[in-house]
Chains A and B, each alone.
Chain A
Amino acid sequence: MTAIETVVDRSVTEALETMMLIRTFEEKSAALRAANLSPNMCTSVGQEASAAGVIKNLREDDLILTNHRSAGHLLARGAEPGRIFAEIMGKSTGYCKGKSGSLHISVKELGVVLTSTIVGGELSLAPGVGLSLSMSKSDAIAVVFFGDGAATEGIFHESLNLAAVWNLPVLYVCENNQWQAYVHRKETMLADHVSEFARAYGVPSKTVDGNDVEVVLDAARNAVDYVRTMRKPYLLETYTYRVRGHMEPDDQAYVDKEELASWKRRDPISLIQSRLQRDGELTQDEIDVMWQRVQQRVEDAAQFALDSPYPGFDEMTTDVYA
């Protein structure tokens, strides 16, 4: 085995543990909501390979913009699960002092610069972040995560067009999860793939299996390299599925059961776990240890958040103006 392959293998295992952490976090978050210990929130269960596969390819100085379904991106970037839980619960120990809640969490120290919960808002902000980077001496890039719902909005097209015309180093990552809040993608788009739009703006793009983390890791590595060296935008579409409802709690009565079942059979975590086992990279014991590790971490994180205080009432009017 060459040195390079070793690095790749380690990154896949690391990505698997990140995906386990995201899954465990999101399910705990839904359970806390069900127990009325936490407010409504949006999970990314089923989409873990996209977050882990893309973000593992980024450098520390790259900047991320995300959306209302952000916990996976934050965890993949190294955010503390306890501070995310705390933010979701509106506690003062959250990354945004509890003022954001789940929907617009940003973490400056991790380069998660802007998060808008207005679907498409993150796309409107991305060229500006790219512009700041393009006018600096750095070769860092901006990465914006959005969904197929945002891709049906005008601002997606405005954003992609401006990034192309101005040669901005922005990696557009469309997590096409087939759902736009409570509406199936097939009701709002004739095309199956958002990547097709990019061609019209002169932006290279690719659609990949968003449930296979090795595929995402490879595609994202190429996409990140392109944006970093060419200083131009690229659109990577990770084709995936939102396994839970739009917002917790959600009985998913509107979801086609067969479609959901077929995607669950392609669960991104089971997929890579069994492949790594089959290839002799990981044993069942090692996998069990990884699960135990993330479960303990998530339990501790939830307790930290539950034990944390709410912000003082004075925080209602601070941080409005600089």
Chain B
Amino acid sequence: MRTITADEAITEALVEEMRRDSRVIAFGEGTATKGYKLVEEFGAARVRNTPLAEGIIAGTAAGAAATGLRPVIDLLFAPFLTFAMDEIVNSAGKLRFLSGGQFSFPLVTVARTGGGWAVGAQHNHNNESWFVSSPGLKVVMPSTPADFKGLLKSAIRDENPVVFFADIGLLFVPGEVPDGDHVVPIGKADVKREGSDITLISYAKTVQKCLEAANVLQENGVSAEVIDLRSLKPLDEATLLASVQKTGRAIVVHEAAGPCGVGAEVAAIIAEKAFGALKAPVVRLTGPDAPAAASFPLEAAYAPQADAIVAAATRSLSRA
């Protein structure tokens, strides 16, 4: 075990995968500038800077992926993905199917998002559900340095296009990462804390808020189970449903806004497949349907906080 930040974990994963597979290349806005050590180790052909043009970065990645390379592209911030939607959604996501399976698109798109840097809504927009709604893509959004590393390694090895969202608020929080080839499978949720009374389901920075809430609830005699989804697509339905079957109550928590968000999907899955076990309605705690403000206090308040989770859990438990 070593203690590193999520940002360092991203670089570690990339370096290890580039050593492992010569087809892995990295390019993006400042990739070679910030990754000058990677340029030294792997050469300028495999580590490249690009113009600030997300469409052609993503399109180039899709074209390269279809013809034998395994690109990892850095598009900096999630709102910038709007410039790359055609390439990620229409090309990388659909052309495998449309070609009758002749081509695959093993590429990883890294984008940062979420509160933490006071950069405002054109750099901070948790738009992960757009990609969950798009066929052919996988979507991950880790919460710990170990999962950043392990999921990025899995994403690079995956034969499908993976969108890797990095929560800005978590990038420089240190955490323990196992030594060696640490790989976390895509599509497997992590039960962060076991409990029997209520299930708190989350991903990215609000996982920590759920764990804080679970501590408070514990003091109040309530046993909360906390699940970190980690992968938003595919979603680990089995882990979710097993937990709700056990507790009969669920709260879904995320920083992204509510409408058609991951929480809506999770709530619907629980309602469809574990309705009989429910003792109370599934509750969503999400960011508001508003652009994220830059101002630090407003930005921090955008994501659901531990006290709101405790209050929602207490209300849920008050129903017989």
Contact = CB atoms under 8 A, between A and B. Distances in A.
B100 A125 contact: no
Contacts of B90: 116, 118, 121
A215 B90 CA distance: 36
Contacts of B64: 128-129, 131-132
B4 to A, nearest CB: 31
A154 interface: yes
B180 interface: no
B100 A95 contact: yes
18 contacts: A97-B100, A108-B99, A114-B103, A118-B86, A118-B90, A124-B55, A124-B56, A125-B59, A127-B59, A131-B60, A135-B46, A136-B68, A155-B56, A158-B51, A158-B53, A318-B101, A321-B136, A321-B160
A120 to B, nearest CB: 8
Contacts of A159: 56, 59
Contact of A128 (B53, B66, B86, B102): B66
A319 B25 CA distance: 25
A322 interface: yes
B63 A129 contact: yes
A107 B101 CA distance: 11
A121 B86 contact: yes
A80 B194 CA distance: 60
Interface string B196-211: 0000000000000000
A320 B60 contact: no
Given A100-B100, A320-B96, A132 B59 contact: no
Interface of A: 63, 65, 94-100, 104, 106-108, 113-114, 116, 118, 120-121, 123-133, 135-136, 154-155, 158-159, 161-162, 165-166, 318-322
Interface string B40-83: 00000110101101011011111111111101000000000000
A155 B87 CA distance: 10
Question: Interface centre among A95, A128, A129, A320, by most B CB within 10 Å?
Answer: A128
B50 to A, nearest CB: 7
B102 A125 contact: no
Interface residues of B, number: 43
Contact of B95 (A106, A129, A131, A135): A106
B101 A124 contact: no
B67 A132 contact: yes
Contacts of B69: 128, 131-132, 135
A71 B219 CA distance: 70
Contact of A161 (B51, B71, B100, B105): B51
B70 to A, nearest CB: 11
B90 to A, nearest CB: 5
A41 to B, nearest CB: 15
A106 B60 contact: no
A125 B63 contact: yes
Contacts of A319: 96-97, 99-101
A260 to B, nearest CB: 32
Contacts of B51: 158, 161-162, 165
B55 A154 contact: yes
Interface string B7-51: 000000000000000000100000000000000000001101011
B87 A96 contact: no
B98 interface: yes
A106 B102 contact: yes
8 shortest A-B CB distances, which residue pairs?
A: A128-B63, A124-B59, A322-B159, A319-B101, A128-B64, A97-B100, A158-B56, A125-B63
A104 B96 contact: no
A308 to B, nearest CB: 14
Contacts of A120: 86
A90 B96 CA distance: 16
B67 A124 contact: no
A100 B99 contact: yes
B160 A322 contact: yes
B96 A128 contact: no
Contacts of A161: 51, 53, 56
B215 interface: no
